[in-house]
Amino acid sequence: MAKVRLASSTDAEHLSILNQEFNGGVPRPAAKIREQLNINRNELIAVAEMNGRIVGFGCGQCYSSFCYDEPYGEITELYVEEAARRQGMARALIACLEANFRQRGVKSIKVLTGRSNIAAICTYEQCSYVKDDEQMLEKHLT
């Protein structure tokens, strides 16, 4: 049976493993993830469980600015293990993030994903997200 909920500090080990599968690079230690879960109130982290095991996660950021009347959200990460895909987990993670954004007064959510990530784009479109004409620019600071 599948279940989606917000992450707790006890999920840090599983999140570390899943994040490594998703992002690669230097592994994020569970202690750092646990610390982040406890201090960053602007970040939402949802987890998907199947048979008591975490098989996916989604992250969102809630932003406020003097420039806007309302806070806005951004879904920054979404990952489901290969074996758990095509079972509605990604859509359930998105719905969980959306519900928690709504509770924070968010009425607009942005998503950034690669142009060639067709599976992710289709998933977001199935959840009523639409492409816009904004262009992302990036700079790496040294």
Assign 105 a pLDDT band (cuts: 50, 70, 90).
very high
Q: Is residue 36 in a domain?
A: yes
Mind listing the pLDDT tens digit for each residue in 17-30?
999 989 888 888 89
The arithmetic mean of pLDDT across residues 113-136, rounded, is: 89
3-state secondary structure string, 46-100? EEEEECCEEEEEEEEEEECCCCCCCCEEEEEEEEECHHHCCCCHHHHHHHHHHHH
Q: Is residue 136 in a domain?
A: no
Q: Is residue 52 in a domain?
A: yes
- Residue 45 maps to which CATH number? 3.40.630.30
Say how many domains are in the chain: 1
Neighbours of 88 (CB within 10 A): 16
Mind listing the pLDDT tens digit for each residue in 34-80?
888 888 788 999 999 998 899 999 999 999 889 888 899 999 999 99
pLDDT score recorded for residue 49: 95
pTM of the model as a whole = 0.89
Whole-number Å distance between alpha carbons of 17 and 112 = 23
